[in-house]
């Protein structure tokens, strides 16, 4: 992404403020004078500056209203690479913290940090986010936010005790097509939603097995011999059987269905196929005598979870990371007046009176014209700045939302209750599978506030 000049940034900020004044009172209410004065500059720190952390760091460096004050990582190489990015951008080198797993606690004692981006292995997300909130700073935590159900409650409890906000950095919520669908849902184009489908269908075998020595990433190593995510992520596939990574798909769907804001997850049931893909990959690339060929991988190749919602909708979530396949999040939005499917990028709509809006009855049409017509205002306003950011531009939007929330001292658009509810699908799906696909109740992390909370995502210039 090309650097944003200060003039361009200030112009964009002015446009954002103008756009905000045109939004419904509901959306603007989060920016009232009840909040502290807006910050001129946001001081960010980073815990974890590996590949993902440096992606976020690079986006932050494009903003003249952001100062990077501190970095923390157990890897000296990652710290060096991140510091080099900062200095290349003409910024002052930040303070660094590298001495052990708990070094982040010393960093959080600083008084020159407004927000902290956390991009570390999953098991560290909650301890680091809770410590950040207790230090009175905004926490921006990568997905999934939690591993266990207790951790989900720990996040919620920390926020409610401290008042310090936590945002789940779920970038797919900002994908251009799913935001257009959100726009269409809110305009009633699908009638009343009844069913949604989503998932994480991504061949991760060369991520789970990678020693860092091959350009192609082909290998059979993980754990101590693994590179990057293979050093920690693969162990979850050894120890756990459930939907280990639900939020990429579930986040956008939750916004379509107003989860935690007028609607709620009620219960789920999950099942898993047998586990074959990871063992086969080890044998194919390391041989039948490779030590990892003896590992018993617990994670089923495909995990299917059904979620029931308080307002009567169902959600199907698929986790599929151990088999050869093209990438897909498998989105589907279906209501009383039509359906959109991500795979095939196709749509079919009827009018409220039952007459077809699509050219031919019961025949798919391309989604592209609808994407153009119903493009979300955030993409219309900021799409040019986002066009070269990671993951098709969505990385620009998710970090922007975190920074703008801090700057305006308001609640983030993907809050601690979202982080808890979406991430809790993982341990609850594990429990359901372990109990023979028994239905499992999903806790109400809002403690009843979902009944009166109003939607905020995508409804003003901040979010």
pLDDT of 455 over the 80 cut: yes
Tell me if 397 is assigned to some domain.
no
Tell me if 249 is assigned to some domain.
yes
Same domain as 233, residue 198 = yes
Same domain as 422, residue 309 = yes
- Mark out the alpha helices in 227-276 (DSSP H runs): 233-239, 247-256
Average pLDDT over residues 444-463: 93
Residue 63 belongs to domain with CATH number: 3.40.50.720
Q: What's the pLDDT band for 122 if we cut at 50, 70, 90?
A: very high
pLDDT of 26 over the 70 cut: no
Residue 30 confidence (pLDDT): 40
Query: Do 21 and 43 touch, CB atoms closer than 8 A?
Result: no
Q: What's the pLDDT band for 123 if we cut at 50, 70, 90?
A: very high
Same domain as 268, residue 178 = yes
* Helix 425-434 vs helix 416-423: crossing angle, to nearest 10: 20
Residue 213 confidence (pLDDT): 79
Residue 311 confidence (pLDDT): 98
Among residues 119, 323, 317, which one has the least CA distance to residue 229? 119
pLDDT of 15 over the 60 cut: no
Same domain as 163, residue 269 = no
Last residue of a domain, one of 172, 199, 219: 172
pLDDT of 448 over the 80 cut: yes
Residue 328 confidence (pLDDT): 97
pLDDT of 28 over the 50 cut: no
pTM as predicted? 0.91
Tell me if 308 is assigned to some domain.
yes
Residue 310 belongs to domain with CATH number: 3.30.360.10
Residue 444 confidence (pLDDT): 98
d(CA 152, CA 168): 12
Residue 214 confidence (pLDDT): 62
In 8-65 the beta strands, taken as DSSP E runs, fall at 42-47
pLDDT of 153 over the 70 cut: yes
d(CA 448, CA 455): 15
Here the tokens at position 80 are 């060096």
Q: What's the pLDDT band for 11 if we cut at 50, 70, 90?
A: very low
pLDDT of 238 over the 50 cut: yes
**Burial class of residue 441 (count of CB atoms within 10 Å of its CB; 0-12, 13-18, 19+):** exposed
d(CA 428, CA 443): 10
Tell me if 22 is assigned to some domain.
no
Tell me if 241 is assigned to some domain.
yes
Tell me if 150 is assigned to some domain.
yes
Residue 309 confidence (pLDDT): 98
What is the chain's mean pLDDT, rounded? 92
Residue 381 confidence (pLDDT): 94
pLDDT of 194 over the 70 cut: yes
What is the number of domains present in the chain? 2
Among residues 49, 176, 52, 154, which one has the least CA distance to residue 107? 49
Last residue of a domain, one of 172, 198, 223: 172
Same domain as 324, residue 430 = yes
- Which of 21-25, 67-71, 146-150, 440-444 is predicted least confidently? 21-25
Same domain as 195, residue 185 = yes
- Which of 217-221, 224-228, 397-401 is predicted least confidently? 217-221
Query: Do 221 and 292 touch, CB atoms closer than 8 A?
Result: yes
> What would the DSSP string read from start to end of 82-141?
HHHHHHHTTPPPPEEE-SSTTHHHHHTT-SS-SEEEE-S-GGGHHHHHHHHHHTT-EEEE
pLDDT of 224 over the 90 cut: yes
Tell me if 18 is assigned to some domain.
no
Give the model confidence (pLDDT) of 274-311 as tens digits: 999 999 999 999 999 999 999 999 999 999 999 999 99
Same domain as 246, residue 371 = yes
Tell me the percentage of the chain whose pLDDT exceeds 90: 88
Last residue of a domain, one of 172, 190, 209: 172
**CB < 8 Å & 24+ apart, contacts of 109-114:** 109/135, 110/45, 110/69, 110/70, 112/43, 112/69, 112/70, 113/43, 113/44, 113/45, 113/69, 113/70, 113/137, 114/39, 114/42, 114/43, 114/44, 114/138, 114/406
Tell me if 220 is assigned to some domain.
yes
Q: What's the pLDDT band for 219 if we cut at 50, 70, 90?
A: confident
Q: What's the pLDDT band for 352 if we cut at 50, 70, 90?
A: very high
Q: Check residue 344 and report its DSSP letter.
A: T
Same domain as 215, residue 262 = yes
pLDDT of 338 over the 60 cut: yes
pLDDT of 134 over the 50 cut: yes
Same domain as 212, residue 84 = no
Q: What's the pLDDT band for 463 if we cut at 50, 70, 90?
A: confident
Residue 2 confidence (pLDDT): 36
Same domain as 371, residue 241 = yes
pLDDT of 185 over the 90 cut: yes
Same domain as 318, residue 226 = yes
Q: What's the pLDDT band for 9 if we cut at 50, 70, 90?
A: very low
Residue 25 confidence (pLDDT): 30
Average pLDDT over residues 394-398: 97
Name the helix (H) or strand (E) containing 228: none
In the beta sheet, which residues pair with residue 356? Answer: 350
d(CA 240, CA 86): 38
d(CA 156, CA 123): 17
pLDDT of 124 over the 70 cut: yes
Q: Residue 262's domain spans which residues?
A: 173-376+416-451
Here the tokens at position 70 are 């501190």
CA distances from 191 to 41, 195, 336, 369 (A): 43, 12, 5, 19
Same domain as 445, residue 355 = yes
């Amino acid at each position: 992404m090309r650097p944003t000049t200060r003039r361009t940034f200030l112009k964009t900020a002015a446009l954002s403020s103008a756009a905000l004044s045109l939004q419904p009172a509901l959306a603007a209410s989060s920016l009232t004078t009840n909040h502290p004065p807006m910050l001129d500059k946001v001081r960010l720190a980073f815990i974890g500056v590996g590949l993902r952390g440096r992606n976020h760091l690079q986006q932050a460096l494009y903003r003249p209203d952001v100062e990077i004050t501190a970095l923390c990582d157990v890897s000296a190489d990652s710290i060096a690479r991140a510091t080099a990015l900062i200095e290349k951008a003409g910024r002052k080198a930040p303070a660094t913290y590298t001495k052990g797993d708990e070094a982040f606690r010393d960093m959080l004692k600083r008084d020159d940090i407004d927000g902290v981006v956390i991009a570390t292995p999953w098991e560290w997300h909650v301890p680091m986010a809770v410590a950040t909130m207790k230090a009175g700073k905004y926490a921006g935590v990568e997905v999934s936010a939690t591993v266990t159900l207790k951790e989900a409650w720990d996040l919620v409890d920390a926020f409610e005790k401290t008042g310090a906000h936590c945002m789940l950095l779920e970038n797919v919520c900002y994908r251009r097509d799913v935001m257009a669908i959100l726009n269409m849902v809110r305009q009633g184009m699908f009638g009343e939603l009844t069913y949604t489908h989503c998932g994480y269908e991504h061949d991760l075998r060369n991520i789970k097995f990678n020693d860092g020595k091959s350009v192609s990433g082909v290998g059979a190593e993980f754990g101590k011999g693994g590179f990057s995510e293979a050093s920690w992520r693969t162990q979850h596939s050894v120890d756990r059987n459930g939907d280990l990574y639900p939020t990429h798909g579930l986040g956008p769907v939750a916004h379509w269905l107003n989860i935690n804001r007028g609607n709620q997850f009620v219960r789920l049931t999950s099942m898993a196929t047998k586990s074959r893909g990871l063992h086969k990959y080890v044998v194919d690339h390391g041989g039948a005598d490779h030590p990892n060929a003896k590992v018993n991988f617990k994670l089923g190749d495909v995990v299917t979870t059904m979620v029931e919602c308080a307002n009567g909708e169902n959600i199907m979530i698929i986790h599929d990371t151990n088999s050869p396949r093209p990438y897909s999040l498998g989105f589907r939005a279906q209501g009383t007046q039509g359906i959109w499917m991500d795979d095939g990028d196709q749509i079919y709509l009827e009018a409220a009176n039952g007459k077809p809006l699509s050219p031919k009855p019961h025949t798919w049409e391309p989604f592209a014209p609808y994407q153009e017509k119903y493009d979300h205002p955030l993409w219309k306003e900021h799409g040019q700045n986002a066009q070269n950011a990671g993951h098709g531009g969505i990385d620009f939007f998710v970090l922007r939302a975190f920074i703008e929330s801090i700057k305006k001292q308001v609640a983030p658009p993907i809050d601690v209750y979202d982080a808890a509810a979406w991430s809790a699908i993982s341990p609850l799906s594990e429990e359901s599978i372990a109990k023979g696909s028994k239905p499992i109740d999903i806790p109400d992390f809002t403690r009843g506030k979902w009944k009166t909370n109003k939607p905020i995502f995508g409804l003003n210039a901040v979010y």
